[in-house]
A = this chain, B = another copy of it.
Amino acid sequence: MLGRIDVHEHGHVVLEKMMGDELDIVNNARVSFDGESTELTDRDRGLINFLMKNRHSSPFEAIVFRFDVRAPLFGIREWQRHRIGSFNEESARYTEIKEDFYVPAPDYVRDQHGKPGAYFFKPIENVELVDETRYHIERAQREAFRTYHSLLEKGIAKEVARTVLPVGMYSRMKWTVNLRSLINFLSLRNHEHAQREIRDFAVAVEDLVTQEIPYIMECWNTHGRQPI
Contacts and interface: CB of A to CB of B under 8 A. Distances in A.
29 contacts: A17-B24, A19-B64, A19-B66, A20-B66, A27-B174, A31-B88, A32-B89, A32-B90, A32-B172, A58-B86, A58-B87, A62-B88, A62-B176, A80-B80, A80-B81, A83-B83, A94-B119, A111-B157, A137-B147, A137-B164, A140-B147, A141-B164, A144-B164, A162-B167, A163-B167, A163-B168, A164-B167, A164-B168, A165-B166
A93 interface: yes
Interface stretch (A70-78, A200-208, A209-217): A70-78
A103 to B, nearest CB: 8
A116 B87 contact: no
Given A62-B88, A157-B112, A31 B164 contact: no
- The dominant DSSP class at the A interface is mixed
A177 B19 CA distance: 12
Contacts of A167: 73, 92, 162-167
Nearest to A139: B147
A192 to B, nearest CB: 12
Given A121-B157, A195-B93, A164 B163 contact: no
Q: Choose among A84, A91, A157 the residue with the greatest number of B CB atoms under 10 Å from its CB.
A: A157
Interface residues of A, number: 88
